[in-house]
Amino acid sequence: MTSLRLLGLGIKLSIAGGRTVIIRLVLMSIGLATGVTLLLGALSVPPALSAYDLREGVRYGTVDPGAHGVSNATLRWWLGTTFEGRQVLPIAVEAVGQAPVPAGIPRLPVAGEIFASPALASLLSSSDGELLRPRVPGRIVGTIAPEGLLEPDELVAYVGASPDLHIPRIWEPEAVTSFAPADRGQGSPVDLGAIVLLCVTVVAVLLPIAMFVLTAIRLSASTREARFAAVRLAGGTQTQVRVLAAAETAIAAVLCVVLSVPLFLLARPAGNAILSAVAGHPSFPSDFSPPVPAVIALLLVVPVFAVGVAVLSMRRVIVSPLGIVRHAARVRRGWFWPAALVVGFLGLLLSSVGRDALLELSSPIPGVVIGAALLLILVGLAGTAQWLGWLGSRVIARLRPWPSVLIGARRLEAEPTSANRVVMSVAVLMALAAVAEGIFLSATTYHSIPPGVAALGSDEVVAHAYGNGDENAEAWRSLESLPGVRSLEVSSRLPDGGSCRRSCVAIVRTDGRPETVERIRNAVGWSGEVRTAEEVRKDSSSDEPARMVQLLELGMLLVLLVTAANLLVSTVDGMMERRRPLAVLSAIGVPTSVIRRSVLFQVALPLAAALTLGMSTGLVVTGLVFRIAKEPPVFPVAPLLLTGAAAAATVLLVTMTALPWVRIVRRPEFLRSE
């Protein structure tokens, strides 16, 4: 029989295999499709970042340093302002000779004309934008096309330069000679670092999914293998049985390919939102797209890879007509994983010792050395976590503990690749959490708000003028007559501690209404900058660390849920596979509570090993990373313990939902051998 016909027979057998096979197929397909979707998302990150860079390049263009005397250029004034907390960017432009035209508009606006982004055009034409119109005066003659925007909802406008704008004389324009994107050069070390970070994140997220797929492949293994034995009895060869085994995975892989594309399209807005949060700016969803050749390659490689893994997973199994002979999967090479971990640590340690020499190298070597050491640590950590769980079970079993612990420890010792493997991702997660929380905590420490800013009242507005003292004093007096302004205090000191020319700053106490703030902005115009107390505080601090911590927590929650679901499935399946021994235990008088505790122990021990190892590794790596960066280290012990406790609670709680199955599997009918 040819391999294709065999594959067909395998597919037929799989589909006719009943409810368990369908559940296995569905779980495998979901796991694979989720993995492929994540990979598609990861592949979309570099194009999305490049697209933003390209849009910025097109917006900025090529600027001639000498604005005076240029013959063919667009003179440009950046007139940034804030309206009700949102950034608004009017760009005043004026043509000189054959002036280049910015992307997204058909021509340069003349005095009194505006090309506005769709969002700004809509705002200006609505009653909500009434108090913004004085700062963007003129007639809207068209909208800026998406290629001229940085963000989908950007509030930007090209305004024809005119005296009505009241741009201060001291404000020199830029002379733009071309809006073609400038050559931004080859990849910098920062790009390399970002790629390493991306790789590490993808590995951390894909690991639990890979574990989930492996668990799904092994679901009801004994029933499946009994079927293969029957095929051998009917004359099938060992190779033919392997092809049959691959058929089921092939179905799941095809389903995965079919599912992953719509799944990615569904998840794309969320992926784009996450990237926007990380990058600190919104992006166009259409920019968040993987390169087509990479998509085709991925969708072709995944089924082949999945089938290959299924065939390889049978290498330890000899299917004979009388049943299955399984080569025991003993953890003999346990030393390899701790060794990889130690080598990774040494790599980082050497990088920290020779950091100056390393960082002087103008090549990607520092990034590669540090990235390789980090990847080695992650791989070593995953393997060591599994090995440590097995080692712990061996030691505990030797101590002849309580029956529940003994049964659990012996089970872990006999099958070292079950729960131990699933919790590998928890170890990796904890290590990454330690490093990330250390870095973010350190960043938070550096962003403390100055006392002057902290002392600002919520109804106060800081106006900062660009002109000289006499002009300012004039301007501040005009503010006093505005509706909603209660008092005004002129100073030469900025709330954040900085100083400026005489009378450059006015602290205006208002009635707290947003309209009053906008009126003050309109009155000051482009002669100065007006910020509310809240905006000053926001500028003096950075919300990036907090945003990153939130993203990290979201990612950890997702990984934990996948891991917990994986443990739940493998625990239930493990009990169903062992229903006869469990029924015997019940028959000989072993209380259900002992069996329940042994099931919990089988999760708790590897989990404890993974948490401890992950946290310790994370703290060591944090110390080394700070040493390399020449920064005082911040060890996030308290948040890490909290994260660890939350992780343990989540995983154990989800696993506990499997415990009612103990009552089912200990039923006496499983004792029957007829």
Tokens representing 271 are 């992926």
**Shortest separation between residue 563's beta carbon and another protein, angstroms:** 23
The answer to whether residue 323 forms part of the interface with another protein (CB under 8 A) is: no
| Closer residue to another protein, CB minimum distance, 522 or 592 | 592
Q: How far apart are CA 130 and CA 114, in angstroms?
A: 16
Q: Which of 46, 581, 633, 639 binds another protein (CB under 8 A)?
A: 581
Kindly identify the residues of this chain, within the stretch 400-429, that bind another protein according to CB under 8 A. Answer: 400-403, 406-407, 410-411, 413-415
Q: How far apart are CA 52 and CA 628, in angstroms?
A: 30
The answer to whether residue 591 forms part of the interface with another protein (CB under 8 A) is: yes
The answer to whether residue 673 forms part of the interface with another protein (CB under 8 A) is: yes
DSSP one-letter code for 670: G
DSSP one-letter code for 499: B
For the chain, what is the largest distance between any 2 Cα atoms, rounded to a whole number of angstroms?
A: 104
Residue 64, SS3 per DSSP:
strand
Q: Which of 276, 386, 586, 617 binds another protein (CB under 8 A)?
A: 586
| Closer residue to another protein, CB minimum distance, 261 or 590 | 590
Tokens representing 66 are 């000498």
**Shortest separation between residue 590's beta carbon and another protein, angstroms:** 6
The answer to whether residue 226 forms part of the interface with another protein (CB under 8 A) is: no
Q: How far apart are CA 610 and CA 382, in angstroms?
A: 8
| Site map 364..403 versus another protein, x via CB under 8 A | ------------------------------------xxxx
The answer to whether residue 166 forms part of the interface with another protein (CB under 8 A) is: no
Q: How far apart are CA 484 and CA 512, in angstroms?
A: 8
| Closer residue to another protein, CB minimum distance, 132 or 582 | 582
| Closer residue to another protein, CB minimum distance, 355 or 410 | 410
The answer to whether residue 672 forms part of the interface with another protein (CB under 8 A) is: yes
**Shortest separation between residue 401's beta carbon and another protein, angstroms:** 8
The answer to whether residue 674 forms part of the interface with another protein (CB under 8 A) is: yes
Q: How far apart are CA 374 and CA 673, in angstroms?
A: 53
> DSSP for 307-357?
HHHHHHHTTTEEEETTEEEE-----TTTTHHHHHHHHHHHHHHHHHHTHHH
Q: Which of 584, 646, 652, 656 binds another protein (CB under 8 A)?
A: 584
The answer to whether residue 590 forms part of the interface with another protein (CB under 8 A) is: yes
Residue 95, SS3 per DSSP:
strand
**Shortest separation between residue 273's beta carbon and another protein, angstroms:** 47
| Closer residue to another protein, CB minimum distance, 545 or 574 | 574
| Closer residue to another protein, CB minimum distance, 400 or 447 | 400
The answer to whether residue 573 forms part of the interface with another protein (CB under 8 A) is: no
| Closer residue to another protein, CB minimum distance, 183 or 669 | 669
| Closer residue to another protein, CB minimum distance, 234 or 588 | 588
Looking at 378-386, 431-439, 450-458, 585-593, which segment touches another protein (CB under 8 A)?
585-593
- What single letter denotes the amino acid at residue 606? P
**Shortest separation between residue 383's beta carbon and another protein, angstroms:** 23
Please, what's the b/e burial string for 405-435 (b: 16 or more CB within 10 A of its CB; e: otherwise)? Answer: bbbbbbbbbebbbbbbbbbbbbbbbbbbbbb
DSSP one-letter code for 72: S
Kindly identify the residues of this chain, within the stretch 631-670, that bind another protein according to CB under 8 A. Answer: 668-669
Residue 111, SS3 per DSSP:
strand
Place of tokens 């920290």: 352
| Nearest C-alpha neighbor of 232 from the set 320, 144, 315, 154 | 320
| Closer residue to another protein, CB minimum distance, 99 or 412 | 412
| Nearest C-alpha neighbor of 371 from the set 194, 555, 633, 552 | 194
| Closer residue to another protein, CB minimum distance, 190 or 328 | 328
Place of tokens 């934990």: 560
Tokens representing 362 are 């103008």
Number of residues this chain uses to bind another protein (CB under 8 A): 30
The answer to whether residue 330 forms part of the interface with another protein (CB under 8 A) is: no
Looking at 23-31, 80-88, 161-169, 576-584, which segment touches another protein (CB under 8 A)?
576-584
| Nearest C-alpha neighbor of 150 from the set 82, 102, 83 | 102
The answer to whether residue 216 forms part of the interface with another protein (CB under 8 A) is: no
**Shortest separation between residue 662's beta carbon and another protein, angstroms:** 13
Looking at 59-67, 81-89, 94-102, 574-582, which segment touches another protein (CB under 8 A)?
574-582
**Shortest separation between residue 586's beta carbon and another protein, angstroms:** 8
Question: Are 352 and 359 within 8 A, CB to CB?
Answer: no
| Nearest C-alpha neighbor of 310 from the set 226, 248, 259 | 248
* Count of residues in the chain: 674
Q: How far apart are CA 661 and CA 597, in angstroms?
A: 13
**Shortest separation between residue 31's beta carbon and another protein, angstroms:** 27
| Closer residue to another protein, CB minimum distance, 354 or 668 | 668
Q: How far apart are CA 525 and CA 393, in angstroms?
A: 73
The answer to whether residue 589 forms part of the interface with another protein (CB under 8 A) is: yes
The answer to whether residue 332 forms part of the interface with another protein (CB under 8 A) is: no
Q: Which of 587, 641, 642, 653 binds another protein (CB under 8 A)?
A: 587
**Pairing between β-strand 323-326 and β-strand 62-64 as defined by DSSP bridges:** unpaired
| Closer residue to another protein, CB minimum distance, 315 or 672 | 672
Question: Are 418 and 211 within 8 A, CB to CB?
Answer: no
Applying CB under 8 A, the residues found at the interface with another protein are: 400-403, 406-407, 410-411, 413-415, 578, 580-581, 584-592, 594, 668-669, 671-674
